[in-house]
Structure 1
């Protein structure tokens, strides 16, 4: 049986080591490289031409989303599996649309990681059960699929940009010449529209969905 070659791309060394240990116990999978940096990862994948890349969405100064088209261009035979700590269906959908074959979260059990690799190698698309469950619950409850940055108003986009730059509600209000209370209302509406719990989740979401924002 042919050994499936894998390169692991994640900015946390501990996570990369965890993946390497996991795959070391599998007879038909071999890790041929690992990287925690965007440019280094692209160069490594281009050189090694692996069967599979396990690609974290969060990378230093870049997004794994940006890496997908580059990997497809430089290593067309490589199957990309997106990995993220976030379980927003919109991110999974965007990753697949860009050309990834599978998407799993860091909460996914090991068996599901192997399933994603197997399906990707067969040329099939695979979405982890955690994302599928969220989509199913949204369908049953009548909720629409999670919205993206493009669904925010121009004023809300201004507020998001200033939040991302570290400004407080008071500072944003002063900059936009509106009251702090109005800014708080905007913040509430933004989180509600994007189905996010707090500011930290908002900043991570913006980085992943639109790194150039």
Structure 2
């Protein structure tokens, strides 16, 4: 029997909380264990020793009263180290996207995403993947005009690492990459970890965004990125 994915929702609009609550209530493998309206309250709950069920995934709005979601993101990660954070917001602002990714968010979705996209994002990040929702990846990769120095970054990656990075940029996940290259998933995971180290990033969206900015990957971004 698969483990139930526990979710905390940090969202200040009651109507949108109701939408997410209703959507997740239909999913047998996902349980919404807590809803709070501010990042301060989320941190209080996570740090409360009486709160004996910690979330596997935190859905985090950015535009919150008091401390914003992007400001609170590092503290949320520190308070619940194993939890994966998905930013779920109306903002496709470049600075918000990049700051969230750099702070360790495993996913970034716009509130215009469908319920099915949100549910699948929860499952993806709970399994160790990362995801940029439809439109966000394209926005980042087409709006970032500043080019990074490419030669050093490119030369630091082996041919196999470049190959895997390219497949990540095409939206393939570890299992698909393993099948495509006829290698084990464990080997793929090892290569991906080395790519993150060399690019100095924490997850697939950040690696791909940096690779596009540096010109390592061609500027023809896919609709979604997940790995």
Q: Same fold (TM over 0.5)?
A: yes
Query: Given the two structures, how large is their TM-score scaled by the length of structure 2?
Result: 0.58
Verify: 1:95 aligned to 2:100, yes or no. yes
1:40-66, CA deviations, whole angstroms, 9 ceiling, x for partnerless residues?
111223334210110000111210012
TM-score using structure 1 length = 0.62
Residue 24 of structure 1, CA deviation: 0.3
1:27-42 to 2 correspondences below 5 Å: 27-42=28-43
> Is contact 2:70–2:96 with CA below 8 Å preserved after alignment?
no
When the two chains are superposed, the root-mean-square deviation of aligned CA atoms in Å is 1.6
What is the distance in 1 between the residues matched to 2:67 and 2:79?
A: 18
- Structure 1 SS opposite 2:72: helix
Which secondary structure state, in structure 2, belongs to the residue aligned with residue 58 of structure 1?
Answer: coil
Alignment-derived partner of residue 110 in structure 2 = 105
CA deviations 1:91-129 (Å, max 9, x no partner) are 222101101111101011122212221221122221101
Q: By percentage of residues, which structure has more helix?
A: 1
SS of the residue 1:62 aligns to: coil
What residue ranges of structure 1 are gaps of 5+ in the alignment?
Answer: 146-213
Assess if the C-alpha contact under 8 Å between 1:5 and 1:51 holds in 2.
yes
Q: CA deviation at 1:137?
A: 4.5
1:17 aligns with 2:18: yes
Closer, same or farther in 2 for the Cα pair 1:75/1:135, shift >3 Å?
Answer: closer
Residue range with higher mean Cα deviation, 7-16 or 117-126: 117-126
Structure number with the bigger relative contact order (C-alpha 8 A, sep ≥ 6) is 2
> Please, which of 77, 80, 85 is the counterpart of residue 72 of structure 1?
77
What is the count of residue pairs matched by the alignment? Answer: 141
Q: 1:98 to 1:135 in 2, by over 3 A?
A: closer
Look at both structures and tell me which one has the larger radius of gyration over its CA atoms. 1
